[in-house]
Amino acid sequence: MENFKPVTEYIKNLYDTREFIPLHVPKFRGKEKNYLERCIDTTFVSSVGKFVDQFEDQMVQITGTQKAVAVVNGTAGIQVALRLVGVKAGDEVLTQALTFVATANAIIYNHAHPVFLDVDLDTMGLSPKAVSAFLEDYGELRDDGCYNKKTGRKISACLPMHTFGFPVHLDELISVCKAWNIPIVEDAAESLGSEYKGKPTGSFGELGVFSFNGNKIVTSGGGGAIVSNSVSLAEKGKYLTTTAKQPHPYEYFHDELGYNYRMPNLNAALACAQLEQLDTFLAEKRNIAEIYADFFKTQSLNFRTELPNTKANYWLMCVELENKQDRDAFLKYTNSESVMTRPIWQLMFRLPMYEKFQKDNQKNAIFLEERIVNIPSSVR
């Protein structure tokens, strides 16, 4: 464990404290209090208000899409986005097992079935090669879409997740899914501000979904957003997340099953002030990543950096250990020294509610699960 002492001391010095160093905390240095007070003064603190509209406009500008829909959290956003692209009960969704549980949960909320495919070692996100190999083995194109020959179920969507803000290989994934007539929904919960070949993540699929949880690069306390270049899809999303209520001056008429998933104006006020600082946060994140990268060149740990033609937001920065034994020792030592570190998630198929779903060999995902650790990544 003494091998990890220099790393621990370096992180303490970087954050200029000997106290507990958390993994990621929000920074409120802008107009957060001002906007919250203004929101309260209007008395519009629920799902209607100026700040909800402003937040949606800001997300359109940031993501380069045509329309955004404010929702209560990223999980709800994915659930609705999957429904919007046609996922129905009994259908299948191709996704990755190396992800936060919300990705898989959102599929189940639609009464659909996740199919867990491998990730790429360089992106830690869904592998186009794994998707292609699976479809070559099990895919069958019919007039109404792609079906899984093994299960007989329709494969209604592909749901990649941009792990820790590192974009997946989008060109290749789009090409594969287009050939098999499978729409893409991007789980961009962790990648606000990330880019692939100069274009924001979340803007490539039929829809993209972002999270504004308290630990994200920009936070609204709790909240999410659905974005799309299809105005009609996004408008349907707004309608569904507003309990599928038909507009009327006073009558309450709901013509299909909807959700009470709209972001409150109070949360949107906080989000608007945070989004105004996004460029500053991204610049500071990149500076911390550069400092870490230089330091870890002298250590036995591999610090993960962005790939060519991509721009990562470096939401949660991470290192790769030699093996699981070293990973566990690193986690134990750093946390005992009040430096918060966390392993990457346990693979979804290891969880009791997901152990029976179809998966491939997961070779890369298992390799990363045993080695990747997040280190403190807050803006200073």
Confirm whether 353 is domain-assigned. no
Answer yes or no: is 380 within a domain: no
Domain count, the chain: 2
| Domain final position from 253, 277, 301 | 277
pLDDT in tens, 106-141: 999 999 999 999 999 999 999 999 999 999 999 999
Residues lower than pLDDT 70 in the chain: 1-2
What is the domain range of residue 266? 32-277
Q: How many residues does the chain have?
A: 380
Domain shared by 118 and 198, yes or no:
yes
Of the CA atoms within 13 Å of residue 273, those in its CB half-sphere come to 21
According to DSSP, the residues that pair with 318 across neighbouring strands are: 374
Q: Is 225 found in the same domain as 193?
A: yes
Domain boundary residue among 247, 277, 307? 277
Residue 102: exposure state from Cβ atoms within 10 A (0-12, 13-18, ≥19): buried
Whether residues 13 and 135 fall in one domain: no
- How confident is the model at residue 345, as a pLDDT? 97
- Identify the pLDDT of residue 239: 97
- Nearest partner of 318 among 359, 288, 281, judged by Cα: 288
What is the CB-side half-sphere exposure of residue 274 using CA atoms within 13 A?
27
Q: What is the pLDDT of residue 47?
A: 87
pTM > 0.95: yes or no: yes
How big, in percent rounded to 5, are the helix, strand and coil portions of the chain? 40, 20, 45
The confidence score (pLDDT) of residue 3 equals 85
